Amino acid sequence: MKKLVIAFLGIFLLLNVACSRDDNDTVSIVGTWNVSSVKMKGTLSYNGQSAAINEEAPADACSQKSSMVFNADGTGSVTSFANNNGTCEQLLSENFTYKFDGNSKVLTITQAGTTESVTLSFSGSNKFSYGETLNNVNFGDYYPQYDGFYYTGTISTVFVKK
Length of the chain measured in residues: 162
CA distance 102 to 27: 5
pTM: 0.73
Dump pLDDT digits (tens) for 99-143.
Answer: 999 999 999 999 999 999 999 999 988 999 999 999 999 988 877
Q: Are 25 and 105 in contact (CB under 8 A)?
A: no
At CB < 8 A and 24+ separation, what contacts does 77-80 make? 78/111
Bridge-based pairing state of the strands 67-70 and 87-101: unpaired
